[in-house]
Structure 1
Amino acid sequence: MRVMVMVKASPSSEAGAMPSEQLLADMGRFNEELVKAGVMLAGEGLHPSASGVRVRFSGRQRSVVDGPFAETKELVAGFWLWQVRSMEEAIEWAKRCPNPMPEDSEIEIRPVFEAEDFGAEFTPELREQERRLREEIAARG
Structure 2
Amino acid sequence: MSKYMLIMRGTDETNAAMMANLDEIMASTRQFIEDMMKADVLVAAEGLDDPRQGVVVDFGGEAPVVTDGPYGETRELFGGYFLLDVATKQEAVEWARRVPAVRGSKIEVRRVAEADEVPQGGESNGQV
TM-score (norm 2): 0.79
Aligned to 2:29: 27
Q: Tell me the percent identity.
A: 33
Partner of 1:71: 74
Over 3 Å counting, the alpha-carbon distance change for 1:14 and 1:76 in structure 2 is farther
Maintained 8 Å contact 2:56/2:70: no
Preserved contact between residue 15 and residue 48 of structure 1 (Cα < 8 Å): no
Question: Which of 86, 96, 99 in structure 2 is aligned with 1:84?
Answer: 86
Maintained 8 Å contact 1:16/1:48? no
> Per-residue deviation at 1:46?
1.1
Post-superposition Cα deviations, 1:74-120, rounded to whole Å, max 9, x if no partner, equal: x2011111111111100011112222x3x421100111111121255
Separation in 2, partners of 1:54, 1:15:
25
Q: How does 1:3-22 map to 2 (within 5 A)?
A: 3-12=4-13, 13=15, 17=19, 20-22=22-24
**2:102 aligned with 1:105:** no
So what's the TM-score if we normalise by structure 1? 0.73
The SS at the match of 2:59 is strand
Assess, with a 3 A threshold, how the Cα gap between structure 1 residues 120 and 49 changes in structure 2: closer, same or farther: closer
Range with greater deviation from structure 2 (59-68 or 15-24) = 15-24
Change (3 A) 1:14 1:68: farther
Kindly tell me: are residues 120 and 8 of structure 1, through their superposed partners in 2, closer, same or farther at Cα, counting changes over 3 Å? Answer: closer
Distance 1:118 1:68, change over 3 A: closer
Q: Which runs of 5+ in 1 are unaligned?
A: 123-141
Structure 1 position 58, deviation (Å):
4.6
Contact kept in structure 2, 1:14 and 1:72, CA below 8 Å: no
Deviations 1:15-51 (A, max 9, x none): 9937521111111000001111111111111122111
SS of the residue corresponding to residue 42 of structure 1 reads strand
As a proportion of its length, which structure holds more helix? 1
Equivalent position amino acid for 2:118 in 1: F
Check 1:51–1:14 CA distance in 2 against 1; reply closer, same or farther (3 A cut). farther
CA RMSD of aligned residues (A): 2.4
Structure 1 runs of 4+ with >3 Å offset: 14-19, 119-122
